[in-house]
């Protein structure tokens, strides 16, 4: 099935995009790579009246790392460019690693980092064609009042599956958002609402223009583990990012971040598990305990991609493996 009808707009500057957004409001959609949006348009999950293509806008495709000011990634940078970037590989290997697990090389050559952080949530019922959905009443995410994933559920339980985001949150990344009223910078972690019906806090008229990643302290290790059925072209059943910094003298953990992806409408920080690591020298038994804490922190788990009980167990296994690996990297850094 082809795309539904829409009008196509192509601003040449970011300033040129604002009036278009103001004019068409929620009926317009921003598009860059289109690898997520166009699929949903094909399925008639979204049917915007206007598509505003950002890809003609110059100077939003860059990877800068200057001095101690951290990494700045322009929103229109393709995932493939990011994956291949030498400076990212050297200074932020966890980013290259997470980006390299998104979809396939072909899709990564088109998809952008801005688009990936703005990914919509998905589930087995919502992401279907309109023919498929015809026999069912609309779910919460489609403006209805039921959830098919959790029968009797009182809100949307769709999943946020972007691979890059747990890794970026693990690094303490921020987003720079621009609108006609000016700019603001927001922690990536706070960008997501946790509500499936409205995935992020992007305001009408706002555009994600940059991802900022602070430089890492020395002796920091980070890893993103993706659990999926296929080796490529697959959404994660579970994604776990762990970033750990240690004091090289005492060997104690100075900072730890554990982020769980694909379990809920937003990435989940396992803050209690992180707290369990901070300030101590991390032993294997502690990792086991912390993994169990993270499992409890994961909250309710739904049957999408794999059975609930199994996914819950995998949280423990993957957190354990991610923390062990990140620690190893921190120790050898």
Partner 1 sequence: MTEEREKGYWLRKRGVDSKKFSVIGRSLPRIDSKAKITGEAKYAADLKLSGMLYGKILRSPHAHAKILNIDTSNAEKVSGVKAVVTGKETLGVKYGIWRLRPEFMDEYGLAIGKVRFIGDEVAAVAAVDEETAEEALELIEVEYEPLPGLFDVDSAAAEGAPLIHEGIRDNVSVKRRIEVGDVDKAWEECDYIREDAFRTQVVQHTPMEPHACVASFDFGGKLTIWTSTQSPYFVQCLLAMALGMREGDIRVIRPYVGGGFGCKIEMLKHEFCSALLSKTTGRPVKIVYTREEQFIATRQKTPMIMELKTGVKKDGTIVAVEFRNTLDGGAYHSYSVTTTIIAGILCILPYRVPNYRYNGRHVYTNKPVTGPMRGHGALQPMFAFESQLDLVAEEIGVDPVELRLKNATQPGEIKIPNVAHISSCGLSECIEKVSQSMNWRERGGSLPKGRGIGIGAYGFFSGALYNYFDTQLPYNEAWVRVNSDGSVHYFTLASDVGQGSDTILCQIVAEELGVRLEDVNIVSSDTQIVAGDMGAFSSRTTLMAGNAAKTAAADVREQLFKVTANRLGLKVQDELEARDGRIVIKRSGEGISLAEAAQAYQSANNGAPVIGRGVYTPSTPISEGSVVSPTWSFGAQMVEVDVDRETGQVKVLKVATAHDCGRAINPMAVEGQVEGSLHIALGYALTEEVKMEKGKVFNPSLVDYKILSAVDMPEVESFVVETDDPHGPFGAKEAGEGLTIPTAPAVANAIYNAVGVRIKDLPITPDKILKALEEKKGR
User: Which residues contribute to the site for partner 1 (CB under 8 A)?
Assistant: 1-2, 4-5, 124-125, 127-129, 131-132, 134-135, 227, 229-235, 306-307, 309-310, 313-314, 317
Instruction: Order across the sheet with 220-227: list the strands.
Output: 220-227, 238-246, 253-261, 268-269
User: How many angstroms separate the CA atoms of 123 and 138, rounded?
Assistant: 13
Q: Min. distance of Cβ 264 from partner 1 in angstroms?
A: 19
Q: Are 307 and 314 in contact, with CB atoms under 8 Å apart? A: no
How near is the Cβ of 126 to partner 1 at its closest, in Å? 11
- Of 58 and 134, CB closest to partner 1: 134
Question: 3-class DSSP state for residue 293?
Answer: helix
Closest distance to partner 1 from the beta carbon of 10 (Å) = 23
Give, as one character, the DSSP assignment of residue 140: G
CB of 4 to partner 1, least distance (A): 8
What is the SS3 string spanning 182-199?
Answer: EEEEEEHHHHEEEECCEE
Q: How far apart are CA 78 and CA 164, in angstroms?
A: 12
Rounded to a whole number of angstroms, the minimum distance from the CB of residue 237 to partner 1 is: 9
Of residues 231 and 249, the one with the C-beta less far from partner 1: 231
Minimum distance of partner 1 from residue 223's CB (angstroms):
16
In angstroms, what is the minimal distance from the CB of 110 to partner 1? Answer: 16
DSSP secondary structure of 13-62: SHHHHHHHHHHHGGGEEEESS-TTHHHHHHTTS---SEEEE-TT-TT---
Task: Name which of 218 and 229 has its Cβ closer to partner 1.
Answer: 229
Q: At what angle do helices 284-297 and 308-332 cross, to 10 degrees?
A: 140
By DSSP bridging, strand 50-53 and strand 7-9 are parallel
CB closer to partner 1 out of 151 and 249: 151
Q: In the complex with partner 1, which residue's Cβ is closer, 117 or 318?
A: 318
Up-side HSE of residue 286: CA atoms within 13 Å toward CB?
17
Rounded-to-integer distance, Cα 178 and Cα 104, Å: 30
Beta carbon nearer to partner 1, 129 or 218: 129
Residue closer to partner 1, measured from CB, 198 or 312: 312
- Rank residues 82 and 238 by Cβ distance to partner 1 and give the closer one: 238
The contacts of residue 142 (CB under 8 Å, 6+ apart) are: 45, 126, 133
Least distance from partner 1 to the Cβ atom of residue 125, Å: 7
175 three-class SS: strand
């Amino acid at each position: 099935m082809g795309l539904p009808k829409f009008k196509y707009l192509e601003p040449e500057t970011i300033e040129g995009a604002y009036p278009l957004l103001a004019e068409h409001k929620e009926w317009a959609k921003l598009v860059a790579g289109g690898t997520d949006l166009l699929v949903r348009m094909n399925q008639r999950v979204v049917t915007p009246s206007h598509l505003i293509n950002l890809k003609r806008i110059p100077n939003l495709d860059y990877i800068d790392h200057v001095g101690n000011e951290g990494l700045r990634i322009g929103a229109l940078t393709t995932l493939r460019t990011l994956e291949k970037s030498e400076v990212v590989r050297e200074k932020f290997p966890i980013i290259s690693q997470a980006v390299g697990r998104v979809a396939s090389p072909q899709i990564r050559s088109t998809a952008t980092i801005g688009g990936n952080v703005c990914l919509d949530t998905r589930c087995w019922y919502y992401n279907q064609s309109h023919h498929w959905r015809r026999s069912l009443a609309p779910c919460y995410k489609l403006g209805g009042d039921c959830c098919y994933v959790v029968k009797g559920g009182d809100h949307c339980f769709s999943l946020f599956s972007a691979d890059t985001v747990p890794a970026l949150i693990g690094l303490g990344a921020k987003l720079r958002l621009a609108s006609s009223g000016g700019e603001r910078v927001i922690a990536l972690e706070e960008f997501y609402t946790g509500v499936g019906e409205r995935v992020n806090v992007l305001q009408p008229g706002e555009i994600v223009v940059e991802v900022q990643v602070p430089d890492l302290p020395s002796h920091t290790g980070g890893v993103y583990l993706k659990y999926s059925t296929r080796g490529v072209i697959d959404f994660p059943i579970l994604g776990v990012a762990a970033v750990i910094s240690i004091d090289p003298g005492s060997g104690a953990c100075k900072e730890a971040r554990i982020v769980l992806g694909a379990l809920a409408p937003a990435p989940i920080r396992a803050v209690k598990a992180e707290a369990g690591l901070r300030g101590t020298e991390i032993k294997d038994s502690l990792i086991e305990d912390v993994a169990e804490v993270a499992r409890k922190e994961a909250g309710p788990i739904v049957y999408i991609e794999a059975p609930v009980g199994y996914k819950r167990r995998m949280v423990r296994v993957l957190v354990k493996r991610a923390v062990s690996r990140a620690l190893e990297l921190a120790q050898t850094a």
